[in-house]
Structures are given as structure tokens and as C-alpha cells.
Amino acid sequence: MRIPLSSPDITESEIQAVSSVLRTPRLSLGPKLEEFENSVAAYTGAAHAVAVNSGTNGLHLCMRALGITEGDQIIVPSFAFIAVANAVRYERATPVFVDVDAETLNLDPARIEAAITPRTRAILVVHTFGCPADLAPIFSVARKHGLRVIEDACEAIGAEYEGRKVGPLGDAGVFAFYPNKQITTGEGGVIVTQSAQVAALARALRNQGRSQAGEWLEHGELGYNYRLSEINCALGIEQMKRLESILVKRDAVAREYHQRLGGIPDLKLPPLDMPGRRISWFVYVVRLGARFTQKQRDWIWAGMTKRGIGCGRYFGPIHWQPIYRDFAGPRHDLPNTEWSSLRSLALPFFNNLQPAEIDEVCETLQELMHAVPG
């Protein structure tokens, strides 16, 4: 792609940091891991941070550490990456899909209570595209029904809700650092929590069930190899140093898009500013108006792609995925999820996207919208 959908921002300092690790004998479970975890904990206000090898595995360990087990029900949005539902099913629990708010595309607090049953154990909140979910009413429902809250902040490091960083506000939260995220470790994620018990269990589970106090070949839990290498952590440490400047850059790109696309008929833009919340821009997703069908959206997507402009169709609802179509979980109406998924387009979005490239993306999008076949 001439203008890719995403592009990691790697500088010489990060290259040198990774190279320096390769000159040491310690490539796993070393000082860089601890330094990276401490930097994420300090930045987010979490008492504990546990680095793992992906956001997906971080969500899985949250399920285990919070005692989610077979037969439990977990409320999740269907307008999300499939990992949120898969992590639930890894523990043989059941994802219960609840609709999203039409404006923010986050879990709609007003629809949660109707989905709660005696088997419900937790609410998995996704801060979709880096936009913080409305946590206060979600926490209120959770307290009323004795439910855990897990924050999927994989797309939202640096986002804030009422002056506090998202992630450690619930019982546990997860960030992810795939190359398309705000910052990257190549592959990787971090669990954040205020609970020493949750953190200790997550640390044991990521390392084949070994406790920190036990011997290397002593395994107290059914664990996994979810470790994050020193190489990944060295990259993450350097990226964390630049996180705030990166978020400023990404906010500027979002505002450039808003300036160029604002006022176009049949095009709904994401919220730019929200009272009491700070958006950490992961992607910039627009929605076509009601006159556009899924087929027409896909025609525009194909046209952008043919011209070398990366686009994404975010998100296809999880309940429409082949593995979930016949899933026997509880069913609820999801009109906002389904309407938005048919008309969403993620536009190229990364730190160093240039104004001329934004111009080309916006001009091409408008041209294709006008030319779309009936």
C-alpha cells in the first residue's frame, strides 16, 4: 500500500535498546521485564503490571485469575475483536453479547442489566478504538449484582475516564502492543490491576504455573508459556518514554481528518472530544450513512485498496463470525452493532501520516462515495 492502514513508529533509540539486550545473556525474565512493567504501572496508576506475550493471552489470564470457570456467563460487546469472546471460551465460560452505544460504539450501559442472569460473573468492557467506555454506570450495575469488571484496554493505552487512566479502574485490565497499536513491543500485552492476589496469580500462570517464591521446576498452577521476552520489553520501555508525544501526534491526525471530512452528507465521524474523557486514538473509523449497503461499503473499500490506500472493515460482529454463528449462548438484539458493522471503514491512521496523504485519503473516499453503484 502506498498509504498503509497502519505503520509502527520505530526510532534509532529503540533499535539500539533491542540490540543492547542481544549483547547480554539474559533474554527472558530479566531486568527489562521488570522495568517495562514498572513503567506501565506508574503511567496508568496501577499497583501491579504483568507483561505477557499478547493482549489476547492477557485477557485469558484475567479470566483465570478472577476465577471465571465453566458455566459462567460473561457480558461482552459483539462489536469488538474476536479475542474478547475467545478468552471467555478458553475457560469454557459463555460470552453473552450485548449491544453497543450508537455514538461511541462502546458497550451500552443501559442494555447490560437485561442480560444478567444468575450465572453472570463479569462484564468485559472494551474501550473501542481508544474511546473510553462510560464506566460509572457499568461499575454501578456491577456492584449491584456482585460482578467483576475486566477492561479490554488493548486499543486504549493513555485514554482517561474522569481524570484517571483506563485499564486498572476495574478488577483487571489489559493493554496490547501489536504493531498497529499506539505503541508496540512487536507482540505483547500487559495486565494491570490494583489486586496483589490477581497479579501474583497472573505472574504464575504466564510462566508455566511457577510461583515467584517456588523453585524453577516447581509448578503450583496449571500454567502457560505467556512470557514476554527481554527484547520485546526493551522496545516497550523506549516506546513508553515517547507515549505522550505519540498520543499528541495521533490526536492531531484525528483532528485533520475531522477538518476535512466534517459536514459531508452520509458520513458519520467518530466523536472527537468527550466531556470527562480523553480519547487515545487507535484507528479512525467512519460510518457511511443509511443509504449505503454493505455491498456498497465493500465496493468503496475495494476502490480505496486498488488505489493503494489501506482500509479496514472494522468490526464484523463476533456473533456473525463462522465459529459463533451456531454458538448456543443467550441471544439479545444487537441493532447498533449490526448497523454499524455494515457501514464502517477504518481509514489510514498512524503517527507520521502526512497532511498530503490525509488529503488523498479524504478526496478518494468522497470520490468513491459519489461514484458508488446503486
Query: What's the number of CA atoms in the CB half-sphere (13 Å) around residue 65?
Result: 31
Cell of residue 167, nine digits: 485499564
Cβ neighbourhood burial of 354 (10 Å; 0-12, 13-18, 19+): exposed
Phi-psi label, residue 191: left if phi above 0, alpha if psi -120 to 50, beta otherwise: beta
Cell of residue 183, nine digits: 505503541
Rounded Cα–Cα distance for residues 195 and 150 (Å):
13
Rounded Cα–Cα distance for residues 221 and 218 (Å):
9
Residues annotated catalytic, as ranges: 181
Query: Residue 28 in contact with residue 230, Cβ under 8 Å?
Result: yes
Angle at the Cα of 214 from the Cα atoms of 210 and 217, rounded to 5 degrees = 60
**45 Cβ contact list (under 8 Å, min separation 6):** 164, 165, 168
Query: Residue 121 in contact with residue 74, Cβ under 8 Å?
Result: yes
